[in-house]
Amino acid sequence: MARTVNCVKLGREADGLDRPTYPGDLGKRIYQNVSKEAWQGWMGHQTMLINEYRLTPVDPKARKFLEEEMEKYFFGEGSAMPEGFVPQND
């Protein structure tokens, strides 16, 4: 039986994550309050941030930036798009 959560991003009940996807307290909050669908949305947004800002995920400053953006994306005002970003239509 699938685990469901009241997803903070979608604003409705949805399938929850199968396992914690991030360590620490933020990871616990995400596991308890974020759906699989919303997590997939974050993964796409995070990829865009990495590409647009040319981040190296192993760099501690980049990891801190991405963690702050993740918290904003799920629990804050939302993670903003980089200035001048134009999405590609494939």
DSSP string, 15-64: EBPSS--S-HHHHHHHHHH-BHHHHHHHHHHHHHHHHHHT--TTSHHHHH
Q: What are 13-68's pLDDT values in tens digits?
A: 999 999 999 999 999 999 999 999 999 999 999 999 999 999 998 999 999 999 99
pTM for the whole structure: 0.87
Residue 55 and residue 49 in contact, taking contact as beta carbons nearer than 8 Å: yes
Q: Per-residue pLDDT for 70 more than 90? A: yes
* Alpha carbons 31 and 74: distance in angstroms, whole number: 11
Within a domain: residue 61? yes
At residue 77, the pLDDT reads 85
Q: What are 34-48's pLDDT values in tens digits?
A: 999 999 999 999 999
Within a domain: residue 88? no
Within a domain: residue 85? no
Tell me, what CATH number does 19's domain have? 1.10.3880.10
Tokens of 47: 């990829």
Tokens of 28: 């616990």
Domains of the chain: total: 1
pLDDT interval class at 89 (50, 70, 90):
low
Q: Which domain holds residue 24?
A: 4-75
Within a domain: residue 81? no
